[in-house]
Amino acid sequence: MSIRARIDALFPRLASEQQFPTQGQTIFVDLERQEIRRAWIPHRVVTALLGGRGVNMFLLHNLLDETLEPIDPEVPLIFGTGILTSMVPSASRGNVTSWSPESRVLMDSNAGDYFPSFMKLNGIDHLVLYGKAPKWTLLHFEGDQPKFVDASPFVGLDNIDLRAKIANDFNGVEGKDYGLAAITTAGENLVLCSGIMAGPKAIYARGGPGAKMGALNLKAVLIQGRSADLSTARPHKLRNRDVAVKLLNTSVVKNALKKRGTPFLYKPSRMLGAMGTKNNQETTWTDKLDAENIDPYRPGMEGCFACPVNCRPLNDMSMLGESGVGSRESESPTTIHDKYVKGDGPEYVTLGKFGPNVGITEVTQVLRLNNICNDLGLDTASTGSAISWAMELYQRGIITREQTQIDLEWGNYETIEQLLFMTAKREGFGDVIADSSQAVAMGKYPAESLAYLMAVKGLTQSDPHDARILKAFALGLAVATRGMDHLRNRVTLEINAKINDSPDFKAELYGGPVSAEPNSYEGKETAVRRCENIYAVGDSVGMCRFTTKLFNSPSLPGYEEFADQVANVTGIELTNEAIDHIGLNVMGVERLINAKLGITRADDTLPKRWFEEAIGVGPYKGEKIDRGEFDKMLSRFYAISNLTEEGVPTPEWREELEGVLTA
Amino acid sequence: MQTTQTRITVRLPEPLREGRGDVITMNAASLGDIIAKLDLADDRDELFNFAVNGDLVLHGEKDVALKDGDEVEIVVAFAGG
């Protein structure tokens, strides 16, 4: 059945008018025929899946033809904005969803900055894009009215120049006048580790969304203006003040996120002996990359739409900024004064993936690679992982200089920088990196290479933390529906000794007893289940993960605040239990989609290395994952998640979900 | 009669310095003593971990015994970003 026939079949099950105050439209855009259809998500779907990521799954489940290839323009690319996005402090996020060309399972990636908020501000809750545009296109919404603009003047531009040209040509300021989601040359060249840039650094990163958008011949989506009537069902601003106060009073926000951002994580991971190094062959690295060593290069912090936290560190290696930070004396003699001398970031992920994971020890080199990736639209997690995988293969002689034509020794900064540009253009060995985890399937590496690929379900690990020690982290990475990614369910508080030593408090947090010992398998399924639910709800309301309860703090806004503001904004009343069940539903639909794509229990696993090679340093030296214990933990996780032993929703629950999805 | 002193060097993170500088020394026989002396015991939201001679402690922290000359570093406990 074609995508147009699938949409025809779906339409009678959608609503023809707004279902609640502030609800935006779902707009179906046929890029090939330049046709538009509009509908609203029905109330019964909203009460089961809320919005954002959850409703994206409803749409994908209905529109996916799994007999095609992920890159096929008949497989839609779906943008969604959370039900509270732009309405509540720190709720500035949205998701993009499809079938991943990189992992070949569910693609679902989240970004903030301004684009998701401008969707909401213009009455667009979901944007379903399909069909290949006859020529490169920029989809320009003024309010909710789209125009198909010839994008040829923008083709070949990367993020820095593209954003400058769009600001100039469309006469506006990003964040104030418009939101922009765009691909770079990497997306144009269908690079599988490329993302969709939602800002100078903000990126829909994981699973190859850049390649997916490139396959539609769609260079950018620009949403200009603030046209929607966002009158709420009940006053919500007073409760917003509570949310903001709660955010700003949380220790982890005050003491870490607002000051240095996520690079704070590097130090505890390194000290634990859990810092993925050289493709996880080692697990600790230099203190030269500790967050405080980035201080001299940080002129300030940035933030997303209406977020009081401002957790994004900026960087400036020129030391010529007006902020007064840094000094000529601390400037590296090797600093290159080009457009990459300053930028936005890095996050911890980039610090780890382009530091220890590739053998780099210098802060300024990591900062520069970060700035280049932001410009080239490369997902630093996937790209860094693909490079470290190649480096290990080179180290082992599985690939040779003869094949690569470049020196892939660990820590070879010049090669890594060069390789990023080659990857974006698919030139030389960059064409291999551009195939990311699919390099073996594409015939570019021998099959034995898969033994060294740090990936689950075809997606390389999102963050640098080596999870052989903390078994809850390991389980989370194994069961995450989009592949090996910590942002779906990480029980981050397992690293907190004070909470581990408070069994009653810990049991209350997770809804059941969880072992105090981070390397124990006992009860970890309970903690992962609770985190997976609340994070799925967070993505569906549009809340940032960093400011969602359980992600680094028990004190951040959670179900209570989400339920209150959903009621105030939309008039839809949900109990805490109901909202928790929505989180479970989102995971359930994602597992139904993955099942259609052939995913089974065997795919809820971990890289071979973590089962077979022990950690060699630190307080948990000797630790690895025991296959038998892991398997038992996985079964327990399925049992409390309403899943069968094969990891799909039980027949009764499946019937309930399909009632929502297809009724 | 001579008493045994267990002199510990403690590195403080920025939020806990309060004019004290980044390194202090104190007598403490366990991490529990340091937690009590720094008045960190009951403040659930203050998310700090301890590393003893570079090794991060993830549970049972109050009972971790210290010996003379040990170095304790207090770091912000953070694992997701």
Partners of A97 in beta bridges: A78, A108
**For every residue of A14-64, which 3-state class applies, written as one string?**
CECCCCCCCCCEEEEEECCCCEEEEEECCHHHHHHHCCHHHHHHHHHHHHC
Confidence of residue A142 (pLDDT cuts 50, 70, 90): very high
User: Residue A209 to residues A91, A186, A191, A482: CA-CA distances in angstroms?
Assistant: 22, 11, 9, 13
SS3 of residue B31 by DSSP:
helix
Q: Which residue range forms the structural domain that includes residue B36?
A: 7-76
In this prediction, residue A334 carries a pLDDT of 64
A307, pLDDT greater than 80: yes
Tokens of A202: 């903000």
CB contact under 8 A, A619 and B55: yes
- Whether residue A347 is predicted with pLDDT greater than 90 in this model: the reply is yes
Could you report the per-residue pLDDT of A147-157, keeping only the tens digit for each?
999 999 999 99
Asked, for residue B81, whether it belongs to a domain, the answer is no
List domains and CATH numbers for chain A. Answer: 3-224 (3.60.9.10), 237-245+257-458 (1.10.569.10), 460-662 (1.10.599.10)
Residue A251, SS3 per DSSP: helix
Number of structural domains chain B divides into: 1
- Window 348-387 of A: residues touching B by CB (8 A cutoff) are 348-349
Residue B38 lies in a domain: yes
* Contact: A268, B54; criterion CB under 8 Å: no
Subunit contact B79:A505, Cβ cutoff 8 A? no
Residue in B closest to A469 by C-alpha: B58
Q: What is the arithmetic mean of pLDDT over A171-199? A: 98
Q: E-assigned strands of A265-422?
A: 301-302, 312-316, 342-344
- pLDDT value of residue A251: 86
Whether B41 maps to a domain, the answer reads yes
Interface test with B, best of A201, A255, A312, A547 (most B CBs within 10 A): A255
**What percent of chain A has pLDDT above 90?**
94
The band of A329, judged by pLDDT with boundaries at 50, 70 and 90, is very low
In a domain, B2, yes or no: no
Q: Model's pTM, two decimal places?
A: 0.97
In the A/B pair of chains, how many CB contacts fall below 8 A? 120
Which pLDDT score is estimated for A324?
40
User: What's B21's domain CATH number?
Assistant: 3.10.20.30
- Long-range pairs, A509-512, Cβ under 8 A, ≥24: A509/A550, A509/A554
Q: How much is the pLDDT for B43?
A: 61
Residue whose entry in the numeric block shows the structure tokens 């402090």: A89
Residue A328 has pLDDT above 50, yes or no: no
Cβ-in-10-Å burial (0-12, 13-18, 19+) of A127 comes to: buried
CA angle A64, A100, A29 (to 5 degrees): 50
State chain A's mean pLDDT as an integer. Answer: 96
Instruction: Provide ipTM, 2 decimals.
Output: 0.93
How close is the nearest chain A Cα to the Cα of B6, in Å? 22
Candidates A351, A364, A371; CA nearest to A420 is A371
Residue B34 lies in a domain: yes
Residues in A closer than 8 angstroms to B45, CB to CB, are 250-251, 553-555
For an interface test with B, the pick among A248, A496, A534 (most B C-beta atoms closer than 10 Å) comes out as A496
Angle (CA) A322 A347 A582, round 5°: 130
User: What does the pLDDT average to over A253-272?
Assistant: 91
pLDDT for the residue numbered A577: 97
Residue B71 domain-assigned? Answer: yes
The pLDDT assigned to A394 comes to 98
3-state DSSP helix/strand/coil % of chain A, to nearest 5: 45, 15, 45
pLDDT at A322: 42
Each residue's pLDDT tens digit, A514-557: 999 999 999 999 999 999 999 999 999 999 999 999 998 999 99
pLDDT computed for residue A256 by the predictor: 86
Q: Does A466 touch chain B (CB under 8 A)?
A: no
Nearest to A265 among B55, B57, B78 (CB): B78
Query: CA angle at residue A204 from A435 to A460, to 5 degrees?
Result: 40
DSSP reduced 3-state for A448: helix
**Within-domain flag for B1:** no
Q: Do A497 and B61 touch (CB under 8 A)?
A: yes
Average pLDDT over residues A93-102: 98
**Yes or no, beta carbons of B76 and A268 under 8 Å apart:** yes
Q: How confident is the model at residue A333 (pLDDT cuts 50, 70, 90)?
A: low
**Contact A619/B at CB under 8 A:** yes
For residue A552, give the nearest of B15, B49, B78 by CB distance.
B78
